[in-house]
Structure 1
Amino acid sequence: MEVPALHIAQWIESVPPTAVYGLVGLIILVESLGIPLPGEIALVTASVLAASGVVNPWGVALCAIAGAIIGDSIGYSIGRKGGKPLFEKLGRKFPKHFGPDHLATAEKAFQKWGMWAVFFGRFIALLRIFAGPLAGALRMPYWKFLIANVLGGICWAGGTTLLVYQVGKVAEHWLKSFSWIGLIAAVLGGALSAWILKRRAAKAGAAHAEAAVATSDTVAAPVAD
């Protein structure tokens, strides 16, 4: 059963900071076993929290890398033991994620890229679920799988964390600068408005005074015969 991505993001944001590391690692580990969880959403959410200073980005990256590598390794063992009949069984129970079309697409990727399908699979949602179990079912040599698994886990989890963290810090700085600019603009705008109103009031007052003087002069002037 698929867990909605929004629920995962809200869940991560609601737990204590110390629990974020383990939760992210666990979600990615379970996804790597072949269970459809939004691991990428969990990683991005934790990275945004790191950019906000809630958690440490290195802690997020290390836990995500560990979850990816361990999860794929367990998935490889499950796939090697269960073979293709395992995917056929899963396809009947979860056709949305393990249907014949999904399996055929994943197999074509393995035929084209070999061990690097495991590496590139980290960056593709469909292959991220299939990579470990399918590599085991296709009897890929474990040493080849392990190399691609470790490199893929480091590049995907570490790279995503670093990218989102850096973008978040830049955005946070820009928003802070923008808030100061907005404040200064509001102050200057208020001062300008007050100055304009003051000038208009002064002009109106002067015009009213001139009109009053003109009226008094007219009343005081003698009427000619």
Structure 2
Amino acid sequence: MHIDAWIEGIPPTAVYAVVGLIIGLESLGIPLPGEIALVTASLMAVKGVVSPWGVAICAIAGAIIGDSIGYSIGRKGGKPLFEKLGRKFPKHFGPSHLATAERSFQKWGMWAVFFGRFIALLRIFAGPLAGALKMPYWKFLIANVLGGVVWAGGTTLLVYKVGKSIEPWLARFSWAGLGAALVIGLLSAWIMKRRAAKTHAKIEAEEAAKAAAAAKEPVAD
């Protein structure tokens, strides 16, 4: 069963907790479909099953708390933690993904935490990597709170408003909103994978060049 169908099948009062938990675990560093869970709950709010404010508040809380816990784990474990995870879960925490995430932090600084909230693969790195790179907590907290509010609150509001405007057709085409979210999520994941692949190829080329240069160096007597 897909997670969207599962969420739609649980009691309405449990939806808030489940959405907050999924988003919190994803923000902590566990690859879960937080965006799909959020959009599904927002569509349920359009139908009047749950409150959009309840969904938004729980999603924002999950995002901020999850990222904060991830920051603490990353600060304690440091880069060796990512190296260990990369060996166990190369699909999500491989060296190329980590290198891409690090370059985002070098380019944007604290705002990588904010912008990372909108990119599927970077979202699981933001908190732990910010901690591992020893980003000052107050900087992390500002970007974390702003990112959580804009992403979680904004997504809920957008889906709810759009859903309400097309409510007469939503009963027959409820998949449209979820389909659009899936396309956006897949597109952002594809972009990150391409960047990761390019970074990985560059790293391999640099290492090969260093190895070749070292092989040409004369051996001291």
What TM-score do the two structures reach when normalised by structure 2?
A: 0.76
- Counting only pairs closer than 5 Å after superposition, residues 95-174 of structure 1 correspond to structure 2 as 95-174=90-169
Deviations 1:38-85 (A, max 9, x none): 000000000000001100000000000000000000000000000000
- Counting only pairs closer than 5 Å after superposition, residues 6-21 of structure 1 correspond to structure 2 as 7-21=2-16
| 3-state DSSP of counterpart to 1:23 | helix
Q: Give 5+ residue unaligned stretches, structure 1.
A: 1-5, 177-225
- Counting only pairs closer than 5 Å after superposition, residues 1-225 of structure 1 correspond to structure 2 as 7-174=2-169
Deviations 1:144-183 (A, max 9, x none): 000000000000000000000111111113568xxxxxxx
Q: Which amino acid aligns with 2:154?
A: G
CA radius of gyration, larger in? 1
Partner of 2:180: none
Distance 1:175 1:24, change over 3 A: closer
- The Cα of 1:8 is off from its aligned counterpart by 1.4
Identity %: 85
What TM-score do the two structures reach when normalised by structure 1?
A: 0.74
| 3-state DSSP of counterpart to 1:74 | helix
Q: Distance in 1 between matches of 2:35 and 2:17?
A: 15
| 3-state DSSP of counterpart to 1:70 | helix
Range that drifts further, 142-151 or 165-174:
165-174
- The Cα of 1:142 is off from its aligned counterpart by 0.1
Residues 15 and 41, structure 2, Cα contact 8 Å, conserved in 1: yes
Deviations 1:4-51 (A, max 9, x none): xx6211111110000000000000000011000000000000000000
Q: Distance in 1 between matches of 2:149 and 2:140?
A: 14
Q: Distance in 1 between matches of 2:126 and 2:24?
A: 13
List 4+ stretches of structure 1 deviating above 6 A: none
Q: Which amino acid aligns with 1:30?
A: L
Q: Distance in 1 between matches of 2:107 and 2:74?
A: 20
Q: Distance in 2 between matches of 1:10 and 1:88?
A: 35
Q: Which amino acid aligns with 1:123?
A: F
Q: Give 5+ residue unaligned stretches, structure 2.
A: 172-221
What is the Cα-based RMSD across aligned positions, in Å?
1.1
